[in-house]
Amino acid sequence: MDATRRDQFIELWDRYFPGAELPISFYYTNAPPPAAPVPPPAGHRCIFADLVKVRTGQSLCFDARAIGCFGGRRYVGFSDTLTPDFEYFLSCGIPGKLEGERYKKTPELVKALLANAPKFQAPGKFIVFKRWDLLEESDEPEVVIFFARPDVLAGLFTLANFDVADPYGVFAPFAAGCGSIVQYPYLEGASDTPRGVIGIFDVSARPFIQEDVLSLAVPGNKFERMIDNMRESFLITESWRKIQNRIGKTRPAGRGDFKHEISNPKQIRNPKHQ
């Protein structure tokens, strides 16, 4: 990661999105963990509970054992195994045996969904998450993930569509929360026309995210273009300035009513504004 490029984005982000939370990023590696390894959890644990730490400035490294969720291991590419009776788990359940999440109406719909789902195998033993300002020369971020409230998300959405001809520079697939920030945007990086991915609509992941926050994840090659476009896009117009002025004035992203809450909401804002 070129430090000059890293700092260039931070300067532009602070100019056009004052006070907004910096993005995090991830990359895969087979090298010894360059960040704090996450120990295997004692039981089920959603990866978003750990990503709160990354958002507040702690870099983390996961291997397959460190992800305490079948879905999480699958969507970061460390496993292709599904839980038994997954088509019932995601839909109506099995009376007396399995409670269904009811995210799809029937098991048959789940089977059809899985038949068309992308295949993904992690290209390394470890996945490393770091906040953008903590990236070092040796890091090569493959996806950049924003946790954004509506005004910031609107700006990112518009910027991601700035240099594409069709109206689908961003899309929102039905997916687990980790699928929307890892699997889908990573795979988009191999496309001739990579798209951004809006996500964390997953009801099971929402308790670990503030109530007014969604994600937008973009592959690194698209993110590079977004950086280059910032100074000639709508971000320099009076229309954006009206939004920009209130981004810095609004309250920090709320804590919400979730278990693994952020102890100090101000920690997840741009460090320059702490």
Tokens of 125: 């033993």
User: In terms of Cα–Cα distance, which of 118, 222, 210, 221 is closest to 170?
Assistant: 222
Look at residue 225 and tell me if it is in a domain. yes
- The pLDDT confidence band at residue 33, using thresholds 50, 70 and 90, is confident
**Does residue 85 form part of some domain?**
no
pLDDT in tens, 149-197: 999 999 999 999 999 999 999 999 999 999 999 999 999 999 999 999 9
Confirm whether 124 is domain-assigned. Answer: yes
In-domain check, residue 92: no
Q: Could you report the per-residue pLDDT of 51-105, keeping only the tens digit for each?
A: 999 999 999 999 999 998 888 999 999 998 888 999 999 999 999 999 999 999 9
Residue 93 counted as domain residue: no
3-state secondary structure 126-174: EEEEEEHHHCCCCCCCCEEEEEECHHHHHHHHHHHCCCCCCCCCEECCC
Residue 156 within any structural domain of the chain = yes
pLDDT at 250: 56
Tokens of 85: 């009776």
| Of 45, 53, 1, 46, nearest in space to 24 by CA | 53
CA gap 126, 220 in Å, rounded: 18
| Helix axis angle, 3-16 to 220-229, nearest 10° | 60
In a domain, 160, yes or no: yes
Which residues constitute the domain of residue 239?
3-80+119-273
Q: What is the dihedral of CA 197, 201, 202, 204, to 10 degrees?
A: 140
CA 115 to CA 39: how far, in whole Å? 33
CA angle 29, 7, 266 (to 5 degrees): 90
CA distance 178 to 235: 29
Residue 100 maps to a domain: no
pLDDT averaged over every residue in the chain: 90
Give me the numbers of helices (H) and strands (E) for the chain, helices first please.
10, 8
Number of domains in the chain: 1
